[in-house]
Amino acid sequence: MMQQSSSRGHGGVGDAASCVALQRVRQFPHVEGQWPTFACLRLHDGEEEEDVLEAAMEVAQCITDTMKVKAVPCEDVHVSLSRTFTLQLGEIDSFVSQVRQAVASVPAFYAPLGFRGYVMLNDDGSRAFFCVGLNQRVPAIDLLLDRIDECLAAFAKPAFYEARDIHVSLASWVIPPAQRNGQPPQLPPNLLDAIQGILQTHLDELVIPGDTVTVHSGNKTFRLPLLLRSKIPA
């Protein structure tokens, strides 16, 4: 059976925005001139991304059927490297330039995705996410997060979550206000078993390529390379 763990501190806006727009929960009010921004890793292989999307749809359907909630698949496949924060238009190029320089000396890596499934909450506890964590911790990830956190601090933006739980979000659902107690909902064993089968079918041997940091700011996308070697270490 899949081991269920739960924790607080999900990426929030960046991941919520990747789910169906009707269930989107904004974590801060829209302010003219402020651009939502986040950093992440992305898959390069279209077939692998399709595998993740298929898993996301099946996991969302299982949660919907079992939990009697409206779970939606997260359609934007990525691994968050920052919280979602805002930048003014005039800050974007400067921030991206600083991140580009900061990550250029971080060795590229592969991060194997595992079957460690768990539920996380966004910052205000209004939305739950079913996530899949890494199979093993890659040391270069912590160095990468350190460099990005330093850039965030230079712009007075919050650092990544203290637990630094690196994951891919597969599905999310809104928690009714009366049920919001600051704790992630527990999934029943039969649901966890069903999800385990889905993950083994679609995500077996999937790895996250850690060779490029992608920064999204509003409708702008920037791809920032890490230090490439002849062979990327696992």
pLDDT in tens, 4-63: 555 556 654 445 445 433 333 445 566 778 999 999 999 988 899 999 999 999 999 999
Nearest to 170 by CA among 99, 35, 66, 79: 79
Segment 76-81 shows an average pLDDT of 95
Token duo for residue 230:
């002849």
* pLDDT score, position 21: 36
Q: What is the signed CA dihedral for 180, 9, 205, 173, rounded to 10 degrees?
A: 30
Nearest to 172 by CA among 32, 18, 44, 47: 18
The domains found in the chain, sorted by start residue, are: 5-27+34-214 (3.90.1140.10)
188 phi/psi in degrees, rounded to 5:
-70, 155
Segment 70-93 shows an average pLDDT of 96
* pLDDT score, position 204: 87
Token duo for residue 213:
């940091």
